[in-house]
Structure 1
């Protein structure tokens, strides 16, 4: 007879929402700017709220309001990391688990142990001087198929190379750069862990939304004519505190 309940060890890959301020008003404004008010952007992604980089902690925190705000964009907060002990009770009351430093370390070790080994990209053969490329993240995930609508690929701690297309409604995420050798039509988020040197490359540029290190750009008014359907790259330019996400054509001839 089958047991009515059983416990098995496992690991969960979750998005981290890194909050540098615990202020729901400022957080709401920032999300509006970053995501353009796009509801359900993350499509139910399990999320850890990480406040380890926050500079000031209030005496009380409205975690219920924070959860409501994140859920508006399709995130599903499940745990809290990095908060001082006086904020733990209210977080638990809001339904968040508390991740201790030991739990966070074990999760990181589990993610590293379970990550598949990836082969580096082959060096390109060219007689002309190669342009300086963005630094590669450690390892590379290669996907040799089209990513269909509703599917999501996340290259954790690495670059992502897609040998097929990214369809409308699909989402590709990488902690490093994203290289798409087919048409890029869905959403592409590079530098997801904060790598400001990450880039997005596409041989046929036409995404719904792109982001590099949390700086987003949408295309409700269409793709600029000089790069629409053509080879292009997206990258951050400017000073650290005033960086803008720019689009540039890639000359392949």
Structure 2
């Protein structure tokens, strides 16, 4: 195959980024919250890309100190690359600090409205002729039976049959992730859909990575280090709940809280 002579190539690539949703612009409050979230673990985020979501505070927060915020996230090994939900007043400062703007639409724009059509000129009025006798009304045809609604296409699934080692990351883009072998400590599973592990789950599992709050995490033996659904995290620094550890378990999002439930039980466990 001939080697390209171009000094650079551009290809589309899929990159997973963590949403850091701000409810305060106070660096001290953010630092304290991140310290509590990570439990002081220096490699908690492992140099993940981060999108800073300011939609909740964009119209009421004072001017954000972007350089300080970027450095604060870097302290916890989060590399800020873009800002989502920014107000127009923030845009210049965001760009001046080398951050991209993310509107969450992947560049899609609403269609432009069609220009209003001019009203047609009025036709000359013709003399009114006597109306003919109305013809008998035809018998209406029976209404057609509507076709049944089409079924939504089933979400695809990525299947992994080999053990997932420490330091290994697997991402099922736009799909569920099914793993039939052990997920070791230090490994990371990411899926836009649900995650199913038919073996021990010991590493990190992040379901609904694109924002699907209905995604779930299932495992025949649950002992994860961290779980996340639609960006809501929970860590287990003090160990997984003892009554559910290494048992068939599912994890789901209820409101803004991670719930843990035995697969044979109907009672959720916060």
Give the 3 Å change call, closer, same or farther, for CA 53–193 of structure 1 in structure 2.
farther
> 1:13 — aligned with what?
15
Matching residue within 178, 203, 211 for 1:194: 211
Distance in 1 of aligned mates of 2:34 and 2:211: 16
> 1:79 — aligned with what?
82
Give the 3 Å change call, closer, same or farther, for CA 28–177 of structure 1 in structure 2.
farther
> 1:224 — aligned with what?
241
> 1:31 — aligned with what?
34
Contact 1:137/1:175 (CA < 8 Å) preserved in 2?
no
Contact 1:178/1:190 (CA < 8 Å) preserved in 2?
yes
Matching residue within 223, 236, 239 for 1:206: 223
CA RMSD of aligned residues (A): 3.2
SS in 2 for 1:201: strand
Distance in 1 of aligned mates of 2:257 and 2:154: 21
* C-alpha distance after superposition, 1:96-123 (max 9, x if no partner): 2345788x326xxxxxxxxxxxxxxxxx
- Superposed displacement of residue 22, structure 1: 5.6
* C-alpha distance after superposition, 1:7-59 (max 9, x if no partner): 43433414142535461344444434544443332212233334456552545
The answer for unaligned runs of 5 or more in structure 1 is 107-135
- Superposed displacement of residue 146, structure 1: 1.4
1:99-248 alignment, distance < 5 Å? 99=102, 104-105=106-107, 138-237=155-254, 240=255, 243-248=256-261
Give the 3 Å change call, closer, same or farther, for CA 220–81 of structure 1 in structure 2.
closer
Distance in 2 of aligned mates of 1:61 and 1:95: 15
Q: TM-score, normalised by structure 1?
A: 0.70
Contact 1:52/1:81 (CA < 8 Å) preserved in 2?
yes
1:90 aligns with 2:93: yes
Give the 3 Å change call, closer, same or farther, for CA 182–209 of structure 1 in structure 2.
same
Give the 3 Å change call, closer, same or farther, for CA 47–236 of structure 1 in structure 2.
closer
> 2:135 — aligned with what?
none
Distance in 2 of aligned mates of 1:7 and 1:30: 41
Q: TM-score, normalised by structure 2?
A: 0.66
Contact 1:164/1:180 (CA < 8 Å) preserved in 2?
yes
> 1:128 — aligned with what?
none
Distance in 2 of aligned mates of 1:167 and 1:137: 29
Q: Which has the higher helix share?
A: 1
Distance in 2 of aligned mates of 1:218 and 1:16: 16
Give the 3 Å change call, closer, same or farther, for CA 179–42 of structure 1 in structure 2.
same
Could you say which structure has the greater relative contact order, defined with CA pairs below 8 angstroms and 6 or more residues apart?
Answer: 1
- Superposed displacement of residue 181, structure 1: 0.8
How many residue pairs end up in the alignment?
218
